Amino acid sequence: MLLLSCISIGIQAQDIIIKSYQEVIKIHKKGKKFSRNVQIEGFVPARKTVSLEIPFTTLEKVDKCTIIEHWPSGKKRKIPQQDIKTQSLSTNVYYSGIKAKTYLFEAIPYKRRLDIRYTKNCSELFFLNKLVHNNSHNEANYEIHVPDGFKLLYHPGSVSPEKEQLKNGDIIYYFNLSNKLSHLRLLVHKEEEEEEAWAALNKWYLHLFALSEKTDTPIQTKTTQLIDKQAKNTTNNIIKYIQRNIKYIDIEDGINAVKPRAVNETFRYQYGDCKDMTKLFCKMMQQAGLQAHPILVATPDHVYKGDFPALSSFNHMIAAFELNGQWETIDLTSGIRETIQVCDIKYCDRPMFMLHDKNDLAHHWQ
């Protein structure tokens, strides 16, 4: 399964009762990066050493983690750190690339008010795609600074955040999440020629997909062997080859949660995830003179439908190919079957978004 979720944003705060959560998100004017400045208010129910576990990916850098202790007299004290450890959160059957930086602090007195602060910097703007509310506290407050020349979209659209227009043209959005509204999907993109939101997602993702990359001789040779006089037979041959020879392994790490590996690498090592298998299929179809394109979809068990142009809306990738004037879909990860399971794209039962190298031909099916 393709992991198209948001960058990890929370913490695991052992032995801390969280009372409030606030986050200031700043979009860099160059449009590539963003930062999250997190402030958490809480207390410890008993005197003990405090451990803060902050998850992050290879796209992120965690910095400036501090705990400020507030005394009843009004005095403040910065709690000394005892140790910092970094460990992987992957398992034997699933590699996400997510790690955790654990900060250990000295013992804190019972019920002393604490301010926990840390910063996360992310190098990819499209990974700002979701805000969440953690049920461990009453509400979560988000402040998003959007520079002039950028557009912020959010879903559900019925939400009415407060806005503050600055003199330099920047806009600050204020969102409040609670049990009534626990998730909010986002898309931030440059207002280039008033580019439509789905077109912005298509342009960004196709750049990562890099279908124009050159293939080595082994792929070219194998594709030639699979070509038949009839396009349907050629398509079926390519599908069967990939499903029988490419082992499905879910490997996701930072940008690789959405960016497929090079087709030569997938073909050489004979394994990959849904993105890798879809890209190999599209490339082999292209070399056979046939059309095929990647499709972003949400599996039935995904928390969202693919109804909004944010990465968090999707968690899987399949392929579309044209046959006799109609678009069919195929899930290359569905395993080997005697009969290839294809579906007319018009009758598929879930929203999907077909990527296309021509923005006006990219299409979203509701």
Give the tokens for residue 240. Answer: 């069967």
- Give the confidence band of 217 by pLDDT, cuts at 50, 70, 90: very high
pLDDT tens for each residue of 60-99:
999 888 989 898 888 998 988 877 888 776 554 455 567 8
pLDDT tens for each residue of 231-259:
999 999 999 999 999 999 876 677 888 89
Mean of the per-residue pLDDT values for the chain? Answer: 84
Give pLDDT, residue 222: 97
Note whether 113 and 105 are within 8 A (CB). Answer: no
Percent above pLDDT 90 for the chain: 47
CATH architecture of 12-194: Sandwich (2.60)
- Give the confidence band of 3 by pLDDT, cuts at 50, 70, 90: very low
**Domains 12-194 and 208-365 alike in fold:** no
> CA–CA separation, 364 vs 308, rounded Å?
10
Give pLDDT, residue 101: 84
Give pLDDT, residue 359: 74
DSSP, res 251: B
For 340, residues 6+ apart whose C-beta sits below 8 A from its C-beta are 236, 239, 240, 330
> CA–CA separation, 366 vs 361, rounded Å?
16
Instruction: Judge whether residue 43 has pLDDT over 70.
Output: yes
How far from the centroid of its chain's Cα atoms is residue 161's Cα?
A: 23
Give pLDDT, residue 289: 95
Rg (CA), the chain: 24
CATH architecture of 208-365: Roll (3.10)
Higher pLDDT, 42 or 228: 228
Give pLDDT, residue 340: 57
Give pLDDT, residue 274: 93
Give pLDDT, residue 5: 39
Give pLDDT, residue 327: 84
pTM, two decimal places? 0.86
Note whether 336 and 355 are within 8 A (CB). Answer: no
Give pLDDT, residue 9: 42
Give pLDDT, residue 81: 82
Region of 268 please: left (phi>0), alpha (psi -120 to 50) or beta. alpha
Give pLDDT, residue 13: 55
Residue-range domain boundaries for the chain: 12-194, 208-365
Instruction: Judge whether residue 136 has pLDDT over 80.
Output: no
Weakest-pLDDT range from 50-59, 141-150, 221-230, 306-315? 50-59
